[in-house]
Amino acid sequence: QKEVEQNSGPLSVPEGAIASLNCTYSDRGSQSFFWYRQYSGKSPELIMSIYSNGDKEDGRFTAQLNKASQYVSLLIRDSQPSDSATYLCAGRSSASKIIFGSGTRLSIRP
């Protein structure tokens, strides 16, 4: 079992709708969690990081963390075609290594 799991998708969402991406993790000692966006052939770009239970909002993005359920999610409101990419979830373990899930491909259809 991977330490960080994501549904590989692809996830298809109509333009203007909310895209919901989910991630689970196994290391209860993990302190920080990250969401990245990666376009084909490019490096991952950090969208946001979250450390505390609850929601954290940044523009159209909201990250949610539930440590009791070992669950992290990312909501993208008002989805745009430019949001079509692979989204990567990662967690910093108690040993400070940062482990990634395999990524979810998101497609926003016009």
| Interface with other proteins (CB under 8 A) | 6, 31-32, 34, 43-46, 49, 51, 88, 90, 92, 95-103
CB of 78 to other proteins, least distance (A): 25
Distance (Å, rounded) from C-alpha 42 to C-alpha 54?
Answer: 30
Distance (Å, rounded) from C-alpha 40 to C-alpha 78?
Answer: 22
- Residue 6 or 79: the one with the smaller Cβ distance to other proteins is 6
CB of 14 to other proteins, least distance (A): 26
CB of 38 to other proteins, least distance (A): 9
Strand order in the sheet with 61-66: 4-6, 19-25, 71-76, 61-66, 54-58
- Residue 21 or 90: the one with the smaller Cβ distance to other proteins is 90
Residue 76: beta bridge partners?
19, 61
- Residue 82 or 96: the one with the smaller Cβ distance to other proteins is 96
Distance (Å, rounded) from C-alpha 35 to C-alpha 96?
Answer: 17
